[in-house]
Amino acid sequence: MPRRTESLSRDQIVSTAVEVLDAAGESGLTFRVLAERLATGPGAIYWHVANKDELLVAAADAVVGRALAEEPASGSPEDRLRAVALGLFDAVDEHPWVAARLSSGLGQASSPRILEAVGRQVRALGVPRADWFVTTTVLVQYILGAAAQNAANAQAAPSVGNREEFLDAVATAWEELDPEEFSFTREIGDQMRHHDDREQFLAGIDLALRGIAAS
């Protein structure tokens, strides 16, 4: 394997780690794989990153940072909040491994970025200062939770085929439930079969916005 001649940077290591994680997940990320990709020795990587956990946190923070790099400059606070939320949702959809990092607490390096991006819009909405923390953290929990669930669904879908086949299988299972015990779930089976994930996600944001306006 040819050895690299230019100096290695932490940003290069993190960027390559993101590529490996996208292709192979957390189990596929090792310092040996990184060393091969970067045409260097593991020791050169350890000079910049102490261990795998630190690298995973840095990789997740890089993805979140890119998703929030540009705060929406125009539109109402509601529109800007939707843009921030959808940027995070799409980032987790593109990089499913990020969901585990953010929900496990190991991705806490990204927390201030996310709180700042969402909190600025909460403040712009005119939410009373005493309610900033609760309102912002509830929104963040919804955004990350919905994004994580969407990523989990996407990863489960290949086991039964494509997304449409996966949704059809779940909807069919709902529709075959006991009609007395699950009368409501049976009724929404066909709606679930044909729903759009991003539209469903934004509908949740709109429900939250209506609650904020009402209060």
CA 112 – CA 134 distance, rounded (Å)? 15
pLDDT at 121: 95
| CATH fold group of domain 1-49 | Arc Repressor Mutant, subunit A (1.10.10)
Cite the DSSP H helix spans in 157-196: 163-175, 183-187, 189-193
Element (H, E) at 214: helix 197-214
Domain boundaries, the chain: 1-49, 71-214
| CATH fold group of domain 71-214 | Tetracycline Repressor; domain 2 (1.10.357)
Contacts (Cβ under 8 Å, ≥6 apart) of 167: 192, 193, 194, 195
pTM score? 0.86
Looking up tokens 């403040």, which residue turns up? 123
pLDDT in tens, the chain (215 residues): 445 445 799 999 999 999 999 999 999 999 999 999 999 988 899 999 999 999 999 999 999 999 998 777 678 999 999 999 999 999 999 999 999 888 765 456 788 999 999 999 999 999 999 999 999 999 999 999 999 999 888 776 655 557 888 889 999 999 999 999 999 999 999 999 999 999 999 999 999 999 999 98
**Phi/psi-derived region of residue 126, left when phi > 0, alpha when psi is between -120 and 50, beta in every other case:** left
Domains 1-49 and 71-214 fall in the same CATH topology: no
CA 214 – CA 208 distance, rounded (Å)? 10
